[in-house]
A = this chain, B = another copy of it.
Amino acid sequence: MRLAELSERSGVSTATIKYYLREGLLRPGQRISSTQAEYDEEHLRRLRLVRALVHVGRVPVATAREVLAAVEDENAPQLERLGTAVGALPTGATGPVDDAAADAARETADAVQRRLGWRVVPENPAHQGLVSAVATLLRLGYPCDLDQLLPYGTLAAELARHEVALIEDFDAPTTQLEAAVALTVLYEPVLLSLRRLAQAQEASRRFGGRDAE
């Protein structure tokens, strides 16, 4: 397909596609004349992933390039590619701070993962994201101990079973990796919106009657 069709089928403007090409986020199409190139289904799939990362996930272009390199690295084992790709996604973790709250947060983060039977991998950026988030809660004087965290971890484990099964529906290893990265980013706002809606339902159920009395 030509650039115009790639744009139409992806919903991404031709100007943006050209920008992604310049930034090396999308491989050049096959040249068919001095001014035209031909694109295929792989370009379309890749374009969707880039869109998810850059536009929705607000992943910086340099980071997106790193994620895509891991997805494409066909020599590495699938699990390693997945770990590198998802690991490169931003977690919102602030830099490491060494104070009493950070120490307590590290202990709590380890404890909750061990209790859930997970292998603790301190190098995983998500582990650092968790420590940083827990430390912030503690620094601000809000409750955040093992009992408070466990329900989040238990539900995250249930969700992961559903999510990994969703990924397995995609056929090729590279397509699975692309989907894993895109869905990790794109389902974050779905999860957070549903959490707020569920809180509103529950608050209304518990506190709704009181105000009406």
Which A residues are within 8 Å of any B CB, using their own CB?
10-11, 48, 51-52, 56, 77-80, 82-83, 86, 89, 91-93, 112-113, 118-119, 121, 124, 126-127, 129-130, 132-134, 136-137, 139-144, 148-149, 151-153, 155-164, 166, 168-169, 179-180, 182-184, 186-204, 206-208, 210-211
Bound-state CA distance A126–B144 (Å) is 25
- Contact sample, A vs B, 15 pairs, CB 8 Å cutoff: A52-B136, A79-B204, A80-B211, A92-B189, A118-B201, A119-B204, A129-B193, A133-B190, A140-B182, A142-B183, A149-B194, A155-B155, A159-B195, A160-B195, A191-B195
A164 to B77, CA, bound (A): 43
Protomer copies: 2
Give the distance to chain B from A132, nearest Cβ to Cβ, in Å. 7
B211/A48 in contact, CB under 8 A = no
Q: Contact at A157–B192, with CB atoms within 8 Å?
A: no
CB distance from A105 to the nearest CB of B (A): 10
In the assembled complex, which residues on chain B have CB atoms less than 8 Å from the CB atom of A196? Answer: 86, 89, 91, 124, 126, 129, 184
Give the contacting residue for A139; candidates B11, B184, B198; CB below 8 A.
B11
Q: How many angstroms from the CA of A180 to the CA of B196 in the assembled complex?
A: 11
Separation of A162 and B153 alpha carbons in the complex (Å): 12
